[in-house]
Amino acid sequence: MKNTFIPVLAGAVVAMTAVSAANAATLDDVKKKGFVQCGVSTGLAGFSNPDDKGEWTGLDVDYCRAVASAIFDDPKAVKFSPLSAKERFTALQSGEVDILSRNTTWTMSRDTQMGLAFVGVTYYDGQGFMIPKSLGVSSAKEIDGASVCVQTGTTTELNLSDYFKANGMTFNPVVLEKLEEVNAAYDAGRCDVYTTDASGLYAIRLTMSKPDDHMVLPEIISKEPLGPAVRQGDDQWFALNKWVYFALLNAEEMGITQANVEEMKTSENPNIKRLLGVDGDFGASVGLSADWAVKVIKGVGNYGEIFARNVGTETPLGIERGQNALWTEGGLQYAPPVR
Amino acid sequence: MAVQNETGDPPAKSRGGSVPSFVYDPVVRGYVFQFLLAAVLVWLAWDIASNTAENLQRANIASGFGFFDDRAGFEIAQSLITYSSDSSYGDAFIVGLLNTLLIAVLGIIFATIIGFLVGIARLAPNWMLRKVATVYVEIFRNIPVLLQLLFWYKAVLSVLPQPRNGIEMPFGANLSNRGMIIPRFIPQDGFAIVVIGFAIAVVAAIVIARWAHARQMATGQQFKTMRVVLALIIGVPVLLYLVTGMPLEVEYPVLTGFNFRGGIALKPEFIALLLGLSIYTAAFIAEIVRAGIKAVSWGQSEAAYALGIRPSLTTRLVVIPQAMRVIIPPLTSQFLNLTKNSSLAVAIGYPDLVSVFSGTVLNQTGQAVEVIIITMAVYLTLSLSTAAFMNWFNSRMRLVER
């Protein structure tokens, strides 16, 4: 007894101090384990959804693949953690995931009180309502007294209260934790109205047993800038993530695509040369190689290609670029220059 | 060790006296090790707490309990107190807590009633009744409770029609997939008299029951306690209600637009949760009741019959009191299980403590550590209080040895 007690105690002491010290740089950890751990949704078509082969696809998924490409030159070096809206922040705060790329709205309290740092806005969205056509309603102003299905732990839940209050209407919330449960409850007729981000509504409508029986109301009641987030306190990882996103936008602006990225290296345009690492080494300061942007674009394409592939007009979701077009084309997507 | 002490000499002397005797004193050693263990535990707890606080600060995550006074900003489907999105997170906590308590108390009552009935049915002389009870127990005891809840929720939702095609029920109630909407009774002036009358009737009933019991003990004369007590408890309030001119207004549910206005809505989530938890726990209680009755030896009943006591009285006065002593301790753990299982409400959207507080509130504030600690403390308190009550009840039912 006496002989084993001291080593056990010593072991416990070491274990506890190890916990205190565990705050190494995220990039080093990621490089050591060989993949990026990415928090995604439990399944939202167009944003993060496993396809029929079990591969994760979507706009949010491709962002994580872009980061993995930048670090490992391999868009597949990502492991995905499906998270409910309720689990997501704790998962990021506790270090369970390296990036949270899960159609998450950027708000002040999340930025300042929850230890999150939002990288950028990968999709400008707004909250809307979906109803069954049989209700014969054409405007969100006519849904006084309705039962509303909503997912717990979202900005949606708060906007909903604000909207009904501002318009002097009442509602019955039906709050469920998992997206699939909300979908099922709405499909079963438990609620009159489904509310979430408009992009989500279009995706969810497709999963209903009869998609044509449902319609999305024209009103958009909030600003929902969706984007990936990382933990605060690791500026290098934050900068890396931010610039991977900017690289996607800059590549589209400069006309660099997955197909032509190799040719573009010979371009005479100094902006393109800097982005692709032909001229200068901008990668080193964020712990990457000089041609990091080439790897990103080779891995997933530019922002426009990602958008078109996952949610664009050619996909079942059929979403127009709208606010998500580049600033040069009247949209809001704008990236600072590489310089 | 034991061999050395067999001589009966103090251990210190046999060691030559160079080491102080208390080093080998088992009592002193016991204290030292206990003290060391306690010190290590305290240090561990302190280290975890300080580590957490430091990490939260470094990650720039807000901490503390100040958020309780902040505006919640979200609505809750079912609330026993006045609550709106303007209320505070503290109010949301109370709403969730009351909803949990409501489901726990009602669940315990229903599970106990169903459990006792099924348990007795399993011992019934009727073959059919016995088999039905057995099938009930075997099915519901052996399926995970979460699955059962999901089943009841889907069942409730898919069987019931839309509100505009709702099923009309007696007394103006209506059943649809928005739940069971029942009329609400609104007390008017003068209703307080009925309530006071009811309270007096209850007190009087207790006094009469005590007196009847004492008289029977002293003289052997019986008194029709049950009838008198029932007449008092039901008769007095009804009489007062009629005399004061029926001071209750009934608010019937009316279908306006999408949903019903007025009345009290028992939501499908609530019905499904109550059904699921009661039916699941009742299967266990049934087995406990059966075991309790079986534990009373047949000789007890035989002896009672030999004294000329009727079978119904034998069951009530001889078998049940002895069976209760076997039943109550395991019953307590079933009550605790039901209370803890009520946290599965989150899966079917019933706004209980876990759903409202460690779901929505946690997410809107981002203060996972505080919220989870409070939630755990609440369940611990609930469970310990239930256990304390059942221990008290058990000690009252215990065999009094003379």
Q: What is the block-wise mean pLDDT of chain B (402 residues), using blocks of 10 residues?
A: 48 57 83 93 93 82 85 87 90 94 95 94 91 96 94 85 81 82 81 88 91 87 83 87 81 76 84 94 96 92 92 86 90 93 91 91 87 94 92 82 60
Cα–Cα distance, A216 to A253 (Å, whole number): 32
Nearest C-alpha neighbor of B348 from the set B181, B179, B183, B182:
B179
Could you report the per-residue pLDDT of B161-174, keeping only the tens digit for each?
A: 888 788 888 777 88
Q: Do the beta carbons of residue A322 and residue A331 sit within 8 Å?
A: yes
Cα–Cα distance, B166 to B254 (Å, whole number): 11
Q: Tell me the C-alpha to C-alpha distance, in Å, between residue A300 and each of A55, B124, B326.
A: 14, 71, 68
CATH architecture of B81-159+269-342+382-401: Orthogonal Bundle (1.10)
Helical H segments across B122-190, by residue range: 127-141, 145-159
Cα–Cα distance, A86 to A94 (Å, whole number): 14
Q: What is the CB-side half-sphere exposure of residue B294 using CA atoms within 13 A? A: 11
pLDDT at A2 over 60: no
CB contact under 8 A, A145 and B154: no
CB contact under 8 A, A232 and B60: yes
Nearest C-alpha neighbor of A191 from the set A147, A256, A136, A139:
A147
Cα–Cα distance, A14 to A8 (Å, whole number): 10
Q: In chain B, which residues have their Cβ closer than 8 Å to the Cβ of A233?
A: 58-60
Q: In chain A, which residues have their Cβ closer than 8 Å to the Cβ of B269?
A: 174
Q: Is B184 helix (H, G, I), strand (E, B) or coil?
A: strand
Largest CA distance in chain A: 79
CB contact under 8 A, A145 and B261: yes
State the DSSP string of A164-193: HHHTT--EEEEEESSHHHHHHHHHTTS-SE
Q: Which chain A residue has its CA at the smallest distance from B261's CA?
A: A145
pLDDT given for residue A103 in this prediction: 92
Give the best residue of A17, A144, A152 to mutate against chain B (max B CB count within 10 A): A152
List residues in chain B touching A: CB distance below 8 A: 40, 44, 47, 51, 54-56, 58-62, 73-77, 85, 154, 157-158, 162, 177-178, 256-259, 261, 268-269, 346-349, 351, 355, 359-360, 362-366, 368
| Average pLDDT for A302-317 | 94
Which domains, from first to last, does chain A contain?
25-122+227-328 (3.40.190.10), 125-223 (3.40.190.10)
Name the residue ranges covered by the structural domains of chain B. Answer: 81-159+269-342+382-401
Q: Which two tokens stand for residue A108?
A: 């002040």
Cα–Cα distance, A10 to B348 (Å, whole number): 47
**Which amino acid belongs to residue B368?**
A
pLDDT given for residue A310 in this prediction: 94
Rg (CA), chain A: 22
pLDDT given for residue B17 in this prediction: 56
Q: Is B158 helix (H, G, I), strand (E, B) or coil?
A: helix
Predicted TM-score (pTM) of this structure = 0.79
User: What pairs with residue A171 in β-bridges?
Assistant: A146
Could you report the per-residue pLDDT of B218-239, keeping only the tens digit for each?
A: 888 888 888 888 888 888 888 8
CB contact under 8 A, B359 and A86: yes
Q: Is B168 helix (H, G, I), strand (E, B) or coil?
A: strand
